[in-house]
Structure 1
Amino acid sequence: MVLVEDLVTLNAQVQQDNAHDGRRNDSRNTQEGNFSMKEPKQVAGLAPDRLCNINDHLDRQYIRPGKLPGALTLVARRGEIAYVNAQGLMDVERNKPVRRDTVFRIYSMTKPITSIAMMQLYEQGRFLLDDPVHKYIPAWKNQRVYKSGVYPNFLTTSATSAMTIRDLFTHMSGLTYGFMNRTNVDAAYRELKLDGSRNLTLEALVSQLAELPLEFSPGTAWNYSVSTDVLGYLVQLLADKPFDEYLQEHIFEPLGMSDTGFQVRDDQLDRFAACYQFQPGDQFTLQDDPQTSPFRHKSKFVSGGGGLVSTIDDYFHFAQALCQGGEFRGRRIIGRKTLEFMRRNHLPGNQDLPGLSVGAFSETHYAGSGFGLGFSVKTDVAKSQINGSVGEYGWGGLASTNFFIDPVEELVVIFMTQLIPSSTYPIRQELRAIINGALV
């Protein structure tokens, strides 16, 4: 277990090291508009002295007290990076500081990438959103809904509606996650290791799901689920190409995301962060050592719902492409109108998540937020009780990573750390308050 007093000493040293490291790498950071703590002028309409509150808040509330091992935050506006700051340690056991090029497990921040990939195929006429999923996965034609019992002895009833591809995008499919720990259905997911066992395959996933009941009839409720992994399977099926190869060719290479993938390469190992698990008393233990991590080896299961590792600059390229209507540095990955369609609230009757959700899944207060085709979407700022703009969209990951895009303010924010679960601390809301307070 990592002790608070140990981290206080280590992080004091790391703050000094990062300051020196930042000066050594100033040429790259200046080229990309990196924020300097001593720079008095505005950067892209953001007040530097107010952006300093990010560093101060994270250091005072999380890094020095030992609640987080380390963090890396990026803020960009109007296409210009206004702030990048590394704090604390990416590997506590080896006393390695967070760097700008640190490789992180982004888990569910994979979902928006998979959703974009699927919508690229939509733009080619490969499917329609109201297509029943059984059109592409015939074994899913006569789906059943859970009524009672435990696996494998379930009592079920017929679904009242056929699952559509839009239901997969919006998590209204009736599927679930084993880690939800809420029902006998998700218990079956755990028993069958359907949340991402590295020996699983996309083909085996959809085959096993065909034999399990749904939590509810598709389109009638919202539940966080393996739906996006099924979208990854459909990308592979419709494109007639392995899912990981498709992402590499159509998203990662065009956007220059050279550090993003489903496996940590040998040349990335020195930059690969450790991952930690929260423990009572605001402490944490090592959850995944970078040297022995399963991410070091190619997995049979290419998870479109949570399998990627990435860096903050790589993910910025992706997020900035979305902020700019689908293109980055002259390379377009999605059409402007398609993206506008994706970031609308697709929940029926323009409802928000609390109105349809059957299970909690994160610390974020989702009142005033709906769900689009792969992202949460803010629909009511006052109701959300979190500063921002109507239309803000984004998502987070299991290890507390997060990104959001405010199209009104042309704002992109990316936060990287490695602490499971994401519900541990309300950092996402706090960052929104600080960063929106820096707009001038």
Structure 2
Amino acid sequence: MAQFDEARLSRIKGWMQSYVDTRRYAGCSALIAQDGAEAFYHECGLRDVENGTPWSRDTVARIYSMTKPITSVAIMILVERGLVHLDAPLSDFIPEFADARCLREGATDITQTEPCDVPTLHQLLTHTSGISYSFNPGLVPQAMGEDRLDFWPGSRTLEQVAAALSELPLVFKPGTRWEYSVGIDLIGRVIEVITGKSLEAFFIEEIFDPLGMNETRFSIPNGTEDRFASMYTPLSGNSFDLNSAQKSTETLNLADSLAKTPFKASKMHSGGGGLLGTIDDYLKFTEMLRCGGKGVLSPHTINFMMRNHLSGDIASMGPSSFAEQPMHGMGFGIGGAVILDPARAGVPGSVGDFSWGGMASTFFWINPVHQLSAIFFTQLSPSSSYPSRAQMKALVHGALM
């Protein structure tokens, strides 16, 4: 196993500081562990520009889509117990999806649909279900945006938004394409139906408590309000409205803060993007995956999750959607992306790297070849604003000797 060159590893500090100095990120932190031991940690900048509060290791941040791997682990716990199988149709758990319809090829109106198969749980987990996100292009995403069907934090519940989403058609026939979606939010609702518990309660009982993730929750954890980071955007409008994004002359426009955040007491347990947490909590999760489950799941189940579940790479399935990772040379497993060919992906790494990110520019990856867990935290939306993920991977792999 390759070790790190400390001088090369320290380059990450200057790189992070450059993002802060140029007001691209307000603040950020990076944490790298190798074979279970901490190899690097650094923080810089502010978690609240308006009040001048420094970014710290215990900063509570929105991890958004880095919630998806946690929800994926949760459903695999139920699979291991024989309570569900991945080829089960969604309608077995959410009956509103029973009469599935999808847009006809070339549809110009959302009413131009045809019958199709009900998506399976496996298709929901791998973004091949025909479900979408409002920030993707197209008729259905536009309707999702109008009705706020992206499972945003707030007063509506997972059950309510899932039922409303069932009234829209699918974008394509399940299994025929890849499109980034709220499918894993629907998996969260499936977990609630099977267990009779709220998604958060199941997470706490089966994942958070066993791993000691005591500051990862769907609302700001009690006693951590003063550590909650503000979120910023370089856009002039909504930081999630990628279809009509307009750059602003100000690179750090306040998008969400403790004073107005819906995360103070959110009823929405968004399995696709709702969790808040600390960088050390998330390291406990990535280390569980890297180490083969640590009793949360079997090593064989973890290996199954971290394999490519597509017929080729993501690009071969013709996506037009936003995604948190490259699409060429990149497959998709259960809850995260899998490197098939680093050269085609255009980012240094190893075959088998498992990763995903969040809309506020957070990111993690696990390298099974070098036994690495690497996590980057910041709070800037959208995550497509800067190439920090590829840059950090290059810095880390450039430091391996």
- The TM-score, its normalising length taken from structure 1, stands at 0.85
2-structure distance, mates of 1:292, 1:301: 16
AA partner of residue 141 (structure 2): D
Alignment equivalent of 1:365, drawn from 310, 326, 330: 326
1:379 aligns with 2:340: yes
| Aligned position for 1:46 | 4
Alignment equivalent of 2:370, drawn from 401, 406, 409: 409
2-structure distance, mates of 1:364, 1:325: 24
1:192 aligns with 2:147: yes
| Aligned position for 2:188 | 232
C-alpha displacement of 1:354 = 1.1
1-structure distance, mates of 2:85, 2:321: 30
Alignment equivalent of 2:63, drawn from 91, 100, 106: 106
**Structure 2: runs of 5+ lacking an equivalent:** 236-246
1:253 aligns with 2:209: yes
Aligned-pair identity in percent equals 41
1-structure distance, mates of 2:268, 2:281: 22
Alignment equivalent of 1:356, drawn from 305, 317, 331: 317
2-structure distance, mates of 1:55, 1:362: 27
AA partner of residue 244 (structure 1): E
C-alpha displacement of 1:365 = 2.5
1:202 aligns with 2:165: no
C-alpha displacement of 1:212 = 1.0
1:427 aligns with 2:388: yes
Assess if the C-alpha contact under 8 Å between 1:67 and 1:282 holds in 2: no
2-structure distance, mates of 1:341, 1:415: 25
AA partner of residue 388 (structure 1): G
1:323 aligns with 2:290: yes
2-structure distance, mates of 1:410, 1:266: 34
Q: Give the secondary-structure state (helix, strand or coil) at the position aligned to 1:286.
A: strand
C-alpha displacement of 1:201 = 1.7
2-structure distance, mates of 1:427, 1:300: 32
C-alpha displacement of 1:308 = 0.4
2-structure distance, mates of 1:135, 1:352: 30
1:268 aligns with 2:231: no
1-structure distance, mates of 2:324, 2:358: 12
2-structure distance, mates of 1:341, 1:265: 32
What is the correspondence of 1:35-184 to structure 2 with a 5 Å cutoff? 45-60=3-18, 62-147=19-104, 148=107, 150=109, 154-159=111-116, 161-180=117-136, 182-184=137-139
Assess if the C-alpha contact under 8 Å between 2:325 and 2:337 holds in 1: no
| Aligned position for 2:379 | 418
Q: Give the secondary-structure state (helix, strand or coil) at the position aligned to 2:252.
A: strand
Q: C-alpha root-mean-square deviation of aligned residues, in Å?
A: 1.6
- Size of the aligned set, in residue pairs, is 386
C-alpha displacement of 1:150 = 4.5
1-structure distance, mates of 2:279, 2:73: 19
AA partner of residue 264 (structure 1): I
1:333 aligns with 2:296: yes
| Aligned position for 1:293 | 261
Q: Give the secondary-structure state (helix, strand or coil) at the position aligned to 2:135.
A: helix
Alignment equivalent of 1:309, drawn from 276, 279, 292: 276
1-structure distance, mates of 2:222, 2:109: 44
AA partner of residue 334 (structure 1): L
1-structure distance, mates of 2:390, 2:321: 17
C-alpha displacement of 1:384 = 1.2
Q: Give the secondary-structure state (helix, strand or coil) at the position aligned to 2:191.
A: helix
Structure 1 residues 401-436: Cα deviation after superposition (integer angstroms, max 9, x where no partner): 000001111000000000000000000000111101
Structure 1 residues 33-70: Cα deviation after superposition (integer angstroms, max 9, x where no partner): xxxxxxxxxx982221111110111212x111111111
Q: Give the secondary-structure state (helix, strand or coil) at the position aligned to 2:163.
A: helix
| Aligned position for 2:242 | none
What is the correspondence of 1:17-36 to structure 2 with a 5 Å cutoff? none
Q: Give the secondary-structure state (helix, strand or coil) at the position aligned to 1:420.
A: coil
Alignment equivalent of 1:399, drawn from 360, 367, 371: 360
2-structure distance, mates of 1:75, 1:316: 9
Assess if the C-alpha contact under 8 Å between 1:343 and 1:393 holds in 2: yes
- The TM-score, its normalising length taken from structure 2, stands at 0.93
**Structure 1: runs of 5+ lacking an equivalent:** 1-42
Assess if the C-alpha contact under 8 Å between 2:64 and 2:276 holds in 1: yes
2-structure distance, mates of 1:261, 1:203: 18
C-alpha displacement of 1:141 = 2.0
Computing the radius of gyration from Cα coordinates, the structure with the larger value is: 1
C-alpha displacement of 1:363 = 6.4
C-alpha displacement of 1:278 = 1.3
Assess if the C-alpha contact under 8 Å between 1:362 and 1:422 holds in 2: no
Structure 1 residues 123-156: Cα deviation after superposition (integer angstroms, max 9, x where no partner): 00111111222222223222101133546xx121
Q: Give the secondary-structure state (helix, strand or coil) at the position aligned to 2:38.
A: strand
* Larger RCO (CA under 8 A, 6+ residues apart): 2
